[in-house]
């Protein structure tokens, strides 16, 4: 490993690796086949303190830094991307509260999110506001001590199983973030999407029909939602990069075992130069992605308190973009390398290939990441 981890980070990596290999890996195929949120995995991660790993200790979490959390996500995704999504979306749903919420809001919600008593979700995307986030149409109108929300969200991870949603809507002062409890009158979950991959992570449409939310459930200040969404992405994109990294590493793990054991023409596959070159490329790309992800997570730890930072934004986008592209390429090559066996469920690489695709799309498509990177690179040259 080219990125040198501290002893503490190495210990976390070894611990979550054992748990993932022993407890989560045996469930991976079943989770994919059943297509249901794995409550047992959520409870397992909560029991070991991994579910609330990023939440400060004063609010019931483990208080770990982002690099630690990325390592946790990587090792879970290495065996089951759907299970890693349990931790990823719990983090995503809670990040706006951690970044902009009042102490009262944090104390009301974060302990239950950290313990797994409540499942969190992040509701930003709409039918007409995907990459163009500022075009969202959900509205929030002040009415005394409440806001009345009306609108629709879609592609919301944890939709239908979450107890708490961080919801972005437009007010007179601009985009604003609210915490909405799932049992709030006027809040409804629409259809669940049938997806290519991460089938154990439900994705749903949400509807708000005169949904009344207490004014005390605003995250930060009214009109501050855009800034809060972007700060959230700065922290969540390295996490998605870690998820993609884990998927790629898991596919390589399968390939290494296969080419060492499988024989053709009287020789192990690992003895053929064409196979060796594929393995070399996969391993190199994965290591490069790991360095970018770990570097971005470390920069978040160092720079997140300094306000908007172009270097942090660039590092986060690079990590997410490159790692997800690597995950797609490595898993596709893994299926090819295993031939017919790669196309059936037994060896898991077909599942990993399906799971990898979404990492190029959510948390901002890779086309959007390239725009962000170019803007910051060119801006640095001009200045």
**Candidate list 75, 91, 126, 363, residue with the active-site label:** 363
d(CA 246, CA 278): 18
Tokens of 72: 């946790």
CA 103 to chain centre: 25
Tokens of 315: 């590092």
Place of tokens 């994109």: 237
Tokens of 62: 């483990």
The DSSP secondary-structure symbol of 21 reads: I
Give, for 300, the enclosing helix (H) or strand (E).
helix 273-303
Phi-psi region of 250 (alpha: psi -120 to 50; beta: other; left: phi over 0): alpha
SS3 of 168, please?
strand
Is residue 4 annotated as a catalytic residue, yes or no?
Answer: no
d(CA 62, CA 59): 9
d(CA 121, CA 166): 6
- Are the beta carbons of 220 and 51 closer than 8 angstroms? no
Tokens of 250: 């898991």
**Per this entry, what is the length of the chain?**
383
Q: Parallel, antiparallel, or unpaired: how do β-strands 187-192 and 203-214 relate?
A: antiparallel
Any idea which residues carry the catalytic annotation? 363
């Amino acid at each position: 490993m080219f990125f040198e981890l501290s002893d503490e980070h190495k210990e976390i990596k070894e611990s979550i690796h054992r748990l993932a290999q022993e407890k989560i890996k045996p469930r991976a195929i079943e989770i994919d086949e059943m297509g249901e949120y794995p409550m047992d995995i959520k409870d397992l991660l909560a029991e070991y303190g991994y579910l609330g790993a990023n939440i400060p200790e004063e609010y019931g979490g483990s208080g770990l830094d982002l690099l630690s959390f990325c390592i946790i996500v990587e090792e879970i995704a290495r065996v089951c991307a759907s299970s890693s999504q349990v931790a990823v979306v719990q983090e995503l749903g809670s990040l706006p509260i951690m970044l902009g919420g009042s102490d009262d809001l944090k104390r009301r919600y974060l302990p239950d999110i950290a313990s797994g008593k409540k499942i969190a979700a992040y509701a930003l995307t709409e039918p007409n506001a995907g990459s163009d986030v500022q075009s969202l149409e959900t509205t929030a109108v002040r009415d005394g001590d409440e806001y009345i929300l009306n609108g629709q969200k879609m592609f919301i991870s944890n939709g239908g199983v979450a107890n708490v949603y961080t919801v972005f809507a437009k007010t007179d002062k601009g985009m604003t973030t609210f915490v909405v409890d799932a049992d709030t009158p006027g809040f409804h979950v629409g259809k669940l999407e049938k997806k290519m991959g991460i089938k154990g992570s439900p994705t749903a449409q949400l509807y708000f029909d005169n949904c009344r939310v207490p004014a005390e459930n605003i995250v930060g200040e009214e009109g501050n939602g855009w800034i809060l969404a972007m700060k959230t992405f700065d922290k969540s994109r390295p996490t998605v990069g870690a998820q993609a990294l884990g998927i790629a590493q898991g596919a390589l793990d399968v390939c290494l075992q296969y080419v060492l054991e499988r024989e053709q023409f009287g020789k192990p596959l690992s003895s053929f130069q064409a196979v060796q070159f594929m393995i070399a490329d996969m391993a190199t790309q994965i290591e490069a992605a790991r360095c970018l992800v770990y570097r971005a997570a470390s920069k978040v730890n160092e720079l997140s308190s300094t306000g908007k930072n172009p270097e942090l934004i660039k590092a986060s986008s690079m990590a997410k973009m490159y790692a997800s592209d690597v995950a797609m390429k490595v898993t596709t090559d893994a299926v090819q390398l295993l031939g017919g066996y790669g196309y059936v469920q037994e060896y898991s690489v077909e599942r990993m290939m399906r799971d990898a695709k979404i990492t190029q799309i959510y948390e901002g498509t890779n086309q959007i990441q390239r725009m962000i990177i170019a803007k910051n690179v060119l801006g640095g040259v001009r200045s």
